[in-house]
Amino acid sequence: MPDTDAAALTADLIRCPSVTPEEGGALVVLEQMLTEAGFDCARADRGGVANLFARWGEKGHPRSFGFNGHTDVVPVGDRAAWTKDPFGAQIVDGVMYGRGATDMKSGVAAFAAAAVDFVRDTPPDGAVILAITGDEEGDAVDGTTALLEHMERTGEAMSVCLVGEPTCPDEMGEMMKIGRRGSMTAYFTVTGVQGHSAYPHRAKNPMPAIARLMDRLASHRLDEGSDHFDASTLAVVTIDTGNPANNVIPAQTRATVNIRFNDHHTGAGISDWLRAEADAVAEAFDVRIDMDVKISGESFLTPPGPLPDLVAAAVKAETGRDPVLSTTGGTSDARFVKNHCPVVEFGLVGKTMHQVDECVPVEQIHQLKAIYGRILRDYFA
């Protein structure tokens, strides 16, 4: 039987318009392929989001290699700006174009193809699991978390997990992720008393208070970094008042900050610090400051050891490069998986992800499949 063509599967997935939260047919394509290859498949849909769980091998086997990925994609944006059909999977000069070509339908296709060939050619003593969501690019509330809850309810488990996000900045094989920074956003509302700008003593101006608070937060250095993480960062991303009149002191203003934090902190600890800073400014300016915090994920690390070594060795064998063990970048669904089992990330070069004319060299898809196949062989050897 011929090897499974990861590039052809990538094209099939790209042709499915699966913009979050639409399934678009992508998981149907995967489920049919995996079922025909002997995988037990189940849907773990929740909240209008489609999710697919697939397992080859014994349920609950203590040696189960898992893969986590997503078939949903970000919106196309200005379609007129695309030179190729964003859902056409057109190949020009060896490069495949389409939304999701890099992030991350190619990664899902590469692992699915590698897994199908692996269990057919060298059936392992263990299980191979795919947990594929349609809600990574959105709020991620009903995606990988729903899959993990499905696994807990049904007695399924992964011993280790690989997430297929694009991890390489410029060249295939140069970087893998062994952790991610935590991410949180804080929303501040400062309320004073509206008044005439010619009579400021009759008002309570929230503007100096928000300016002072944002300056205090932005000027504070959270830390100097840690063994595996860069220094934590805080960015003031907006201050909004909406006051068009130059003779009116507004009653209220709002501001938002985004924080990416390392393993020196927790979301709760930073929230406490933000609240204390807001309270101090509120008292100094005699205004009220309300705060709402959304923690997208805590920082985590899979320390150098068996799983990172396994993936790094496979990458080196197939690309000739020793991947940097990195914790840079934004968030990924690995932040959910890390509560279930050890997790690392490795995938394609991500230079065109979310861009107009997103694309991937076809050869890189085949190379990624080879890396994933070697990881599976080495894990079960």
Amino acid 139: pLDDT: 86
Bridging pattern class, strands 40-43 and 195-196: unpaired
Do 202 and 82 lie in a common domain?
A: no
Structure tokens at 7: 């590039």
Q: Work out the average pLDDT over 201-215.
A: 98
Do 309 and 365 lie in a common domain?
A: yes
User: What is the C-alpha to C-alpha distance for residues 292 and 102, in angstroms, rounded to an integer?
Assistant: 34
Query: Which tens digit of pLDDT belongs to each residue from 97-120?
Result: 999 999 999 999 999 999 999 999
Domain-located, residue 34: yes
Query: Which tens digit of pLDDT belongs to each residue from 220-279?
Result: 999 999 999 999 999 999 999 999 999 999 999 999 999 999 999 999 999 999 999 999
Domain boundary residue, one of 297, 325, 342: 297
Amino acid 167: pLDDT: 97
What are the CA-CA distances from residue 26 to residues 19, 73, 90, 331, 362 (Å)?
A: 10, 11, 17, 23, 19
Do 18 and 109 lie in a common domain?
A: yes
Do 268 and 314 lie in a common domain?
A: no
Domain-located, residue 122: yes
User: What is the C-alpha to C-alpha distance for residues 208 and 139, in angstroms, rounded to an integer?
Assistant: 34
Q: What is the mean pLDDT of the chain?
A: 97
Domain-located, residue 289: yes
Query: Which tens digit of pLDDT belongs to each residue from 282-307?
Result: 999 999 999 999 999 999 999 999 99
User: What is the C-alpha to C-alpha distance for residues 189 and 305, in angstroms, rounded to an integer?
Assistant: 45
Question: Collapsing DSSP states into helix, strand and coil, what is residue 343?
Answer: strand
Do 117 and 42 lie in a common domain?
A: yes
Do 59 and 199 lie in a common domain?
A: no
Which residue is listed with tokens 């909406």? 242
The DSSP call for residue 251 is S
Domain boundary residue, one of 297, 328, 345: 297
Query: Which tens digit of pLDDT belongs to each residue from 28-82?
Result: 999 999 999 999 999 999 999 999 999 999 999 999 999 999 999 999 999 999 9
Do 233 and 221 touch, CB atoms closer than 8 A?
no
Domain-located, residue 211: yes
Amino acid 2: pLDDT: 85
Residue 117 Cα to chain centre, angstroms:
27
Statement: residue 175 has pLDDT above 90: yes
Q: Is the pTM of this model over 0.75?
A: yes
Q: What is the CATH number of the domain that holds 257?
A: 3.30.70.360
Establish whether 93 is a catalytic residue: no
Do 234 and 214 touch, CB atoms closer than 8 A?
no
Domain count, the chain: 2
Domain-located, residue 1: no
Domain-located, residue 355: yes
The catalytically annotated residue of 136, 165, 318, 345 is: 136
Q: Work out the average pLDDT over 84-98.
A: 98
Q: Work out the average pLDDT over 9-15.
A: 98
User: What is the C-alpha to C-alpha distance for residues 194 and 43, in angstroms, rounded to an integer?
Assistant: 54
Question: Collapsing DSSP states into helix, strand and coil, what is residue 95?
Answer: strand
Q: What is the CATH number of the domain that holds 354?
A: 3.40.630.10
The catalytically annotated residue of 72, 137, 298, 345 is: 72
Do 321 and 344 lie in a common domain?
A: yes
Do 40 and 56 touch, CB atoms closer than 8 A?
yes
Do 283 and 347 lie in a common domain?
A: no
Residue 240: φ, ψ to 5°: -125, 125
Domain span at residue 371 reads: 6-180+299-380
Query: Which tens digit of pLDDT belongs to each residue from 345-366?
Result: 999 999 999 999 999 999 999 9
Do 191 and 167 lie in a common domain?
A: no
Structure tokens at 64: 């189960």
User: What is the C-alpha to C-alpha distance for residues 287 and 264, in angstroms, rounded to an integer?
Assistant: 32
- Helical (H) or strand (E) element with 65: strand 64-70
Do 347 and 291 lie in a common domain?
A: no
Question: Collapsing DSSP states into helix, strand and coil, what is residue 255?
Answer: strand
Do 370 and 289 lie in a common domain?
A: no
Do 189 and 279 lie in a common domain?
A: yes
Statement: residue 205 has pLDDT above 90: yes
Establish whether 136 is a catalytic residue: yes
Domain boundary residue, one of 297, 328, 356: 297
Structure tokens at 232: 């934590």
Bridging pattern class, strands 64-70 and 160-163: parallel
